[in-house]
Structure 1
Amino acid sequence: MGESETMKTEKEYEYWLASLHGISSAKKRLLKEIFHSARAVFNIEETARTSCWFLTETEKETLKAQQKETILDDKCRAWERARKQGICLTCWGDLDYPEKLIGIAKPPYAFFGTGTDCFSFSKVTAAIVGARDATAYGRQMAYEFGRELAKAGMEIVSGMARGIDAKGLEGAFAAGGRHCAVLGCGVDLCYPKENRMLYQKLQRKGALLSEYVPGTPPLAGNFPPRNRIISALSDVVLVMEARKRSGSLITADFALEQGIDVYALPGPVTSSLSQGCHQLIRQGAGILISPEEFLSDLPYKLQKLLIKFSEKSNENEIMLESPEKLLYSVLSLEPKNIQKIEEELSLTRGEIMEGLLNLEMNGWIQEVSKNDYIRLK
């Protein structure tokens, strides 16, 4: 081992392994698990390399050819340039590696990010995806859902493509909060170029993420695989417009494989851009009618998280713990029966009765007739 090699950090070796072409992400993960670190992978000798049964002969030769200090030095310089641009790197096994990616079928070995809290996904997240050549209707609905979901405290995830992806993020930023995009190129590249302002906003107030090494161009083959990351980072996926065969349906398929709920926006039956959404609805996807209805339809555990992390600042908002706040949110000035409340919230009858009693005693709601309630404030 040379003197210069001993001065290098583990992150530099991780960058070397991440940028190694010709070996899949799955095999890089296996190499790190077997040898315990990227530094150890760089230093494995002929006997150990030969014993790697999961590598083909070509892959073993590829690894051997990259185990040179001159190549490592080049990668170290590249990583230093990326680091100075504010780019972060987390790799399989690192403490800050996103937990949401660990259990998917093909988790990336390396994950690059730039922006605010790049690899933090503690809040409720929703992917808003759809057609690039979206209609005015699709763009409007993407913007409205992005804005209203962000107001409710959700983080929006998308691929930052033109059309639906961009409009969903624009709406989300209009309401404030942190949002992110998963790119099909390096995080140091803005693609498409027309989204430059959105890219810069994500750098300042959100996060740009990619499994691809900085400098990787937006090749067509990069985009379908990145959709598995968009869905995995999301608690729910919203498809706003999509053709029968589209990247949005690939994202929806990944979501279903990962056990994530999918919702689709209905549109004109004559529109080819709604055919993919209608196909999803026929297959059992939820129907997007309005942001309010979507939010009330969320599973109870996600509604609880929204209450915990909501960034809404409303002077008339009552400071209540769940389930009281959930109950109050579904009531209005129109009487609502307890049976209807049960249908809208995943609460037991006992929790509902106790919550309604507490709200009524504190003057927030009133029982106007038997089991019919209205809000007073």
Structure 2
Amino acid sequence: MGEGHAYWDAKASVDYDSKLSSTVDVAAKTGGNWTITGSVSLGSSMSVTTGYTAKGPYFGKQWKVPIKYTKYKETWKCGGNNSFTRYVIKPGKYTIPAGGATGKYGKDVSSKDGSGSWDAPKSHRAYVTRGSYFQLSKNRSIKFSGAVSAYGVSLGGSTGYDRDHKQRITAGDKSSYKHYIWGKMAAPRASRASSIPTRAATLLACVLLVSCSASPSGGKALDAEGSQSSGTVGNTHAKVGQTWYFALPVPNNISGKSIEITGASVVDPPKGLKVLGYAAYNVNDTEGLPLLALGGESDTPDFAHLKDYAKSEVKVSPKKQSDIFFQAKIRITSPPRKNIEHCQFQYRQGGQEFTQILDCEMELKVS
């Protein structure tokens, strides 16, 4: 179960391989109506790869995999002749039916894209430079209502993304407009995203999912839910000598007290990537969040002429997401041996100093 979108100059891919990792509702009926009584996590080895690759532009479809369901009858007796009957529908393992498909297209969701929905504020938008990608590769997806129909009963389901369950959207090479990823109702995180073309920019879209990351240094005020923490942003055709701008996770204060961010940085940059410095900008000044931008490109903001908010503390109110994002300026000095994986934030709250580690994976592969 997954969903991919690609609008203008974009390609969408969904991979579901190596093992099944889904959570699906369990339904029961006592009397005349079916009700959802809980859910079951499914996990099994798979010897197949299923999904779709590089679909688009102007594509938006869900992907479904076959799961075997069992319907059984329970009879309960409570002394004497008192008894009642309950019917249960329960999911089992990933099973390819005889002569059936390993997976198939589901609902067409391309209607989620289009110019009729372009009313999202700039804080809800993110973009990558041409030829780059954003990939969801960790944590659980949103729950799809009606993801499964078994014995005439509609059940919900969600999929856990990991190294074997991936969803990627890749920007094309056209330079006439920015390649946007965005969420209509909220900042890119636990919602379906949409995409549309406008005079100012033409957009592409993907599903952006809830994510979680560890906080080994004790800080807990920052929420790890966000586009950067739920996947990987990258470019597989980078070159030695290039300068890239990488956006760290946008600070979202989930606590009941204000925080003042005093610093943000990449944790243990890999060999081959040299961090030249850090800065902080307002998403309204950059026309959205530049997840990954290449120096010298037409769609890269002129950062040198924008206000750098990192020169002072960045205050984030309680229960609010900041419009200010921190950014690392990175030069490729040799082919990187691994990805950037974590970022850390230093902040003050209630007179105490905290450090918090967030997931923020970035790949630059030299072609």
TM normalised by structure 2 equals: 0.28
Larger relative CO (CA 8 A, sep 6+): 1 or 2? 2
Higher strand share: 2
- Which protein has the bigger helix share? 1
- Please give the TM-score of this superposition, normalised by the length of structure 1: 0.27
